[in-house]
Amino acid sequence: MEKKKESTISDSKTLVDRRDFIGGATMLAGSSLLGLASAGRAEAAEGVADRMPPIPPEKWTEAQKKAAEEITSGPRKDLVGPFIPLLRSPEYMSRLQRVGEYLRYKTNLGSGISEFIILLIARRWTQQFEWYSHEALAAKAGIKAETMKAIADGYRPTTMTPDEEMVYNFVAELLANQSVSDPTYAKILARFGDQGVIDITGLCGYYTSLGMLMNVARTPVPPGVTPPLAQFPH
């Protein structure tokens, strides 16, 4: 039996003990928190052909060459993952990757919180490439293996740090309610400040965009790599 609607989602950690963030079958605050996995995501994980494979460099336009150079000369170094389909729209890719460069490398949140958010959003979209790309980075940033496993399995982690827990609640509310409650907002504001609120929200939006793009394009994990995330019921 699923949980009944509660007056505030900010107490979500006491409402459910599994699938309260990743959603699948569990309901929180009266509706599915993150929704059911789509058939498109399931097909992507089962090996359906990449819709937007790499474009041979000899076929790149001048705009594509310029956009690719921005990626390979920056901190990412390689043109992989979302930037392969994004190369079809080089100006958009150029503008978007600069936003991502700031959010990933230059905020004051610290790599641990940034990687934590990235994993939450990757799991939200069952985005195999994003999870594969960031799992080791998250571990290096100090996120516990037990925490990552709970997120991957669709459970609320019981091993989060205080910072991770307040960020988890913020992200969960934002995805469930398209906003956050005053108590949840106040905690993030007190800990990370105005800029932190903006940057945390921005990370959610940026990696949601990448998740959507790669799910539409069916961007695969590298050859020989098993997709790391199970599909949710659909």
Boundaries of every domain in the chain: 13-48+111-217, 61-104
Percentage of the chain exceeding pLDDT 90: 71
| Strand, helix or coil for residue 27 | strand
Contact 66/94 with Cβ under 8 angstroms? yes
Output DSSP code: residue 44: H
Looking at domain 13-48+111-217, which of 1.20.1290, 1.20.1060, 1.10.20, 1.10.10 is its CATH number? 1.20.1290
pLDDT at position 181: 97
CA distance 19 to 15: 11
- Residue pLDDT, tens place only, 4-34: 333 333 343 433 333 444 443 332 333 333 4
| Strand, helix or coil for residue 159 | coil
- Residue pLDDT, tens place only, 47-103: 578 999 999 999 999 999 999 999 988 788 889 999 999 999 999 999 999 999 999
pTM of the shown model: 0.80
